Structure formats: structure tokens, C-alpha cells
Amino acid sequence: IRDSLFPDWIEPEVDSKLRILWEDDSIIAVHKPAPLPVHPSGRFNRNTVTGLLKMIYRAQDLRVVHRLDANTTGVLLFARSATVATQLREQFMRNEIDKRYLVLCNGQPDQDKFACQQPIAKSRGPGGSRSIDPRGHSASTTFCVSRRFGDGTTLLEARPKTGRTHQIRIHLWSMEMPVVGDPAYLLGQQPAPMQTLRQSDPPMCLHSATLRFTHPATGSPIECESHQPDWLARLQ
């Protein structure tokens, strides 16, 4: 009866197979599957990364250090204290963290190595989307071709030098090579309302493969590598 009266109380299904990649007294690194939002919003509350981690680390107030889109897989960092969270966020802000993504895009670039430095709008568009805006935040991403496929798609290694919202997705979209499976930035440079994919939908092929950063407590270099999502494993 309750579900029929309040259908919005039923949260959409997500991929809840979080994996702990590495942890110590200061930091937890997880592999985030997709679709799975990081924070509660809309119809998502318990079916989020933070909601799932609360079930594991009940007595701890874990702090998200950075973000991944709901439809993006890969390495996600959490801090176990406010001090560590601040120190890691400062590393992100200073662009001191080496971020490596793997992405399958529609189309094939002319060169094996290329870059995009188009600025990204400061404000959101329809449905939370962003766009290229000459007055926006500076943004820089370098790309390297890993493999070209006969269907016209290309596997790229992407290294964002800045951390703007949807940066990799928008940069490829602006070059008419949008991410395969992206529900918002479509072929033909057409935007669509933002949405979290259903589990039955084809995946958005964007994966945060590795993060390299300096441990705030020890000063040691740390590298966290994520598990391959199914779409990437099928390409190997």
C-alpha cells in the first residue's frame, strides 16, 4: 500500500558493488561502479556511494574528497577526518593529483595525441548540463589514442589537468567525439537533460582508472588503480 501511495519512495536500482581498493587510518579509496550517484539527490538516498559506505563504516563521518558522475566508474577518494579532506582537496585544487581516465568516444581523432583547452561554463544549463563558454572556467585535458576500432569509435587515455564539472565529456563533445553511451552530451553537439542511467541501459564508457597523489600524513606517493568495468574489459 505504501509503495502505491508514495511511488517516489522506491529508489531506482543501481550497481551497488563498491570495492575497497585501499585504506589506512587517514584515507579510503573505493572503486565506484555505475550507475551509482555519489551523493543523495532526487530519488536517490540510500542507493548512493555515501549511503552504502555508511552501512559499512557506521561510526565514522567519511568525507568525499572529489566527485565522479553517477554514470562514471572508477577510483573515488574519501577522507577519515576534516584535516585530511582539506589537504587532499587542496592537492586537487592545485592540480597536483595525476588523474588518468579511459574513455571510449564516438569518432576518430586525426592525431594520436591532442589536447583541448576550451573553457567550461560557470553556470549550469538545462538539466544541470554545462557547455563551452569563452567567459567560463579555464579547463585543460590531454588525450592519447590507445586503440582505434572498425566501428568508428576510439579508446582514449584522458588526463584532465583541471577538475571542471563534466570536463572530459564536454571537451570530447565540443570536438564532435562524444563519449559512447553519454545520455547528456550527444552526437551532433546536441545537449539533453541530465539523467542517471538505468542498470539495463548501455553504459557510459568513461572510467577513472588511476589516481596518484601525496599521502597527507606520510608525504609518500600513493597510486590507486581501479577495477576495469565490463565495457572496458570487453575491449581488451
| Among 15, 61, 69, 112, the one annotated catalytic | 69
In a 13 Å sphere around the CA of 135, the CA atoms on its Cβ side amount to: 1
Distance CA 86, CA 38 (A): 19
Grid coordinates representing 148 are 582505434
CB neighbourhood size of 206 (10 A): 30
Please name the residues in contact with 183: beta carbons below 8 A apart, sequence gap of 6 or more. 71, 192, 194, 195, 197, 201, 204
In a 13 Å sphere around the CA of 167, the CA atoms on its Cβ side amount to: 26
Distance CA 20, CA 30 (A): 4
Q: Of the candidates 72, 80, 69, 71, which has an alpha carbon nearest to the alpha carbon of residue 29?
A: 80
In a 13 Å sphere around the CA of 21, the CA atoms on its Cβ side amount to: 22
β-pair partners for 208: 74, 101
Distance CA 50, CA 73 (A): 15
Catalytic-residue membership of 69? yes
Bond preceding residue 35 cis, omega within 30 of 0 = yes
Beta carbons of 148 and 138 less than 8 angstroms apart: no
> In angstroms, how far apart are the furthest CA atoms of the chain?
59
Active site residues per annotation: 69
